[in-house]
Structure formats: structure tokens, C-alpha cells
Amino acid sequence: MTETDFILKDFSLENITNGSITWKTPSNIALVKYWGKQEPQIPENASISFTLDTCFTLTTLEYRKLNAERSHNFEIYFEGGKKEDFKPKIVTFFKRIEQYVPFLTEFEFVIKSENSFPHSSGIASSASGMGALALCVMSLEKAINPTMTNEYFNKKVSFLARLGSGSACRSIEGPLIVWGNHPEIEGSSDLFGVKFPYKIHDNFKNYQDTILLVDEGEKQVSSTVGHQLMYNHPFAKQRFQQANSNISKISKVLQSGDLPAFIAIVESEALSLHAMMMTSNPYFILMKPNTLKIINEIWDFRVQTNSNICFTLDAGANVHVLFPEKEKETVNNFIKSNLIQFCQENHYICDSIGNGAISIFNSAE
Ligand code: DP6
């Protein structure tokens, strides 16, 4: 599919007046990372992520048809309060998607959003937040054009979400989503995320992700700036090749269930992402001393117990501890006894792989 397939043409708003749509949309954690992009939000390499379950954004879009066209007419409330500083990102998003959803300017909106995780936790909320907003917009399109198929609905949601935040296009469905054109992943595209198209080995069913909140502050360097620093980065070309080759490897591993190979790819990806940050110009470090202490504890525990525990990192100091469901009890005991001490105020979140966004309410249905 190409960009033009996502443009809504010849629509009528005759039967639409006002209403309300609510979606619950999960966050995701990348196993092979997206770091580096071209305009308009085209990734430099393919990435793959586990969709999460407990970490989600709940967004309601209230819409009312206007008598005359007006641009980007909306209010935004976050966790009960008006959030003026969220507006510019949403205006940019609406401007980027307007050509694909031209009815947008004929409505006024109230957006109400809340996260299941603390906003200041350092967990990226742009993936679940932009994913949820894209879903609400597409439910409105579905009310206008009810004959649309579910397949088209999901593809276009992911396509729109990508224009809000790259990683958001991997938050619509689950349990494993690939974004970025890759010769070995059938159906993959730079324009939207697709479900991993091959059989996933039982070892990865209900995989666990315990998120250790090492640093709950605002990030010193945003992902947007980080992506920009991949232009003219001395190792950019090698990094994009490495990521694409890791997609080939992890695709086989996810089918065969080879846990040691999975661990080697996932941990190397996390450290390669942070190595890019440390070698960009200007350079920066998002890991904290406790991030490294946790990593070393995980490595020691793995050697001592033969566990399949491993870690990955986002663009921040928090550590995602990944492990198979059957090790839940032993790993959770280890986390409580050895790792919680390195978390800010002992905060952590127990999550696991999820199946994607859920429609909570739709007055048009
Ligand atoms: C490190 O999706 O937040 O989490 O497209 O600029 O919104 P924008 O960036 P964003 O970048 C996420 C980067 C990452 C890795 C990943 O999720 O693949």
C-alpha cells in the first residue's frame, strides 16, 4: 500500500453530529530499536516490539460538527486538568494527518487522556498516547465510512499513529509488531506496523516485562533530538545495517524459541542504542549508575541460576527486565530481593505481553 491509499475521498458528514469515542491503548517495548528516521517519519531500519498490557493510555475524543470549517479546534485535558503544553504536539500531529482525514477541520474536539503509569515515570507515553488518539480519529472515520474493513482500519490507524510518533505505530495490535520494510518480514512496510507474520514459539507466549523505574525525572535529551543526531552520525550506516540484520536473526529466534540467542540480540540492541547516544555529536548518556548496577546484577543472576532473564532499555535510565512466564516466581523473588533497592522510591511495574488496543466506548456504534 502507498500513502495515497490512506486518503479519504468523497465523504459525507450528513449523518454525523456529535459523539464520544474512548480507546485503551498499550505502550510497547522495542526488542530491535528504531533510532534514526527521514521525513515524513520513515524509519532508517526495521524495528520489532512486544506490545505491553498494564502500561496503557486511556483517551476519549468528544467531537461536535461545526457549521463552518476551522483548523485544529480542540481542548486537551490530561488526568483531569487542562494541558496547554500538550497542544503543540497535537497540532503538529493534526497538521500531518489532515490530508488523510480531511473531515478533521469540520469538527471541534475535546480530548481527555490519562495513563495507567505515572506520567513522570520516564515510561514513553507518546507511543500509547498517539496510538490512542489515532484510534479515536479512525473510529470517527469509520462512523463516516462504515463499510471499511477491520484490516484497513488497523493499517490506517497505525499509519496515522506513525505520523504522531514513530513507535506509536507499533502500539495498535499485538503481541509482536514489526515496523519498517524488511525483505524477510512478509507484508512489512515503512508506513505502518504489521503483526509478526510467522508462528511465535511457546517460549515467548505471555513473556514478562518488569519495568524498574530508576529515574522518574524528565529526560535530558528527547527522542526527537536523539533521532536527529543520527544524521551525520559516524556509525549511522553500520547501526542501520546491524538493526536490519538483527531483525533477520530475531525473526528466526522467535519461531525456534532459542532463548539464549534471544537474550544476546535483545541486550546487544539495548546497548547499541545507548552507544549511539554516547557517540553522537553532541554526546549524551541517559543511563544512570543504578542502571548499570541492575544490568550487572542480572548478568550475575543469569550465570548463577541458568535463568533466561535479560534486560532492555528505552531512551532513558529505566530497565525493562524480560523473562519467560515459567520463571515468573524465581525472577520476581530475585527482583524484590536484589533489584528494587536501585529503583527510585522502590517503584517498579509488573507488565507482560499484550494483544493491543481495546475499544472502550463508541457512541456511533
Ligand atoms: C528508543 O517513537 O519516541 O524508544 O518518532 O520522534 O516520536 P518519534 O520517536 P519515538 O522513538 C522511540 C525510540 C526508542 C526505540 C523504539 O521504540 O524503537
- pTM score: 0.96
Percent residues over pLDDT 90 in the chain: 90
Amino acid 87: pLDDT: 93
CB atoms within 10 A of CB 163: 22
**pLDDT, averaged across the chain:** 95
* Closest approach atom of ligand 1 to CA 32: 18
For the stretch 49-99, pLDDT in tens is 999 999 999 999 999 999 877 777 899 999 999 999 899 999 999 999 999
Determine the pLDDT at residue 120: 64
CA of 167 to the centre of ligand 1 (A): 5
pLDDT the model gives residue 341: 97
In this prediction, residues 221-231 reach a mean pLDDT of 92
Helices (H), the chain: 87-97, 126-144, 150-164, 223-228, 236-256, 259-278, 289-305, 328-334
- Cα 204 from chain centre: 19
- The answer, yes or no, to whether residue 165 has pLDDT greater than 90, is yes
Q: What pLDDT was estimated at residue 269?
A: 98
Residue 121: is its pLDDT beyond 70? no
Give the pLDDT score at 125: 79
Residue 122 has what pLDDT? 67
Q: What is the CA 201 to chain-centroid distance, rounded? A: 23
Tens of pLDDT, residue by residue over 81-90, are: 999 989 999 9
pLDDT at 16: 92
Spacing, Cα 341 to ligand 1 middle (Å): 28
- CA-to-CA distance for 290 and 86, rounded, in angstroms? 31
Q: Is the CB of 320 under 6 A from ligand 1?
A: no
Residue with CA nearest ligand 1 atom 3 = 223
Average pLDDT over every residue of 12-33: 96
| pLDDT classification of 215: cutoffs 50, 70, 90 | confident
Look up residue 305 and give its three cell numbers: 541460576
pLDDT at 207: 98
Mean pLDDT for 127-140 is 97
Burial of 118 (0-12, 13-18, 19+ CB in 10 A): middle
- Report the amino acid identity of residue 112: K
Task: Please give the number of the atom of ligand 1 that sits closest to the Cα of 130.
Answer: 7
How much is the pLDDT for 254? Answer: 98
- Ligand 1 pocket test: pick from 28, 34, 49, 178 the residue with the most ligand atoms within 8 Å of its Cβ: 34
For residue 14, give the DSSP letter.
Answer: T
Among left, alpha and beta (phi > 0; psi -120 to 50; other), residue 198 is: beta
Using the predicted structure, report yes or no on whether residue 364 has a pLDDT greater than 90.
no
- Domains observed in the chain: 18-198 (3.30.230.10), 202-352 (3.30.70.890)
Amino acid at 54: T
Nearest CA to ligand 1 atom 12: 167
Name the pLDDT band for 353 (thresholds 50, 70, 90). very high
Q: Is the pLDDT of residue 218 over 80?
A: no
Pocket lining: 311 vs ligand 1, CB cutoff 6 Å:
no
Whether 118 shows a pLDDT value over 80: the answer reads: no
- Does any ligand 1 atom lie closer than 6 A to the CB of residue 165? yes
Distance CA 133, CA 323 (A): 31
6 ligand 1 Cβ < 6 A: no
Question: Using an 8 Å Cβ cutoff, are 210 and 200 in contact?
Answer: no
* All three cell numbers of 206: 505471555
Query: Which residue lies with its CA nearest to atom 5 of ligand 1?
Result: 166
Q: What are the grid coordinates assigned to 260, written together?
A: 539464549
Tell me which residue has its CA closest to atom 4 in ligand 1.
314
Q: Distance, CA 34 to ligand 1 centroid (Å)?
A: 6
The Cα–Cα gap between 4 and 63 comes to 26
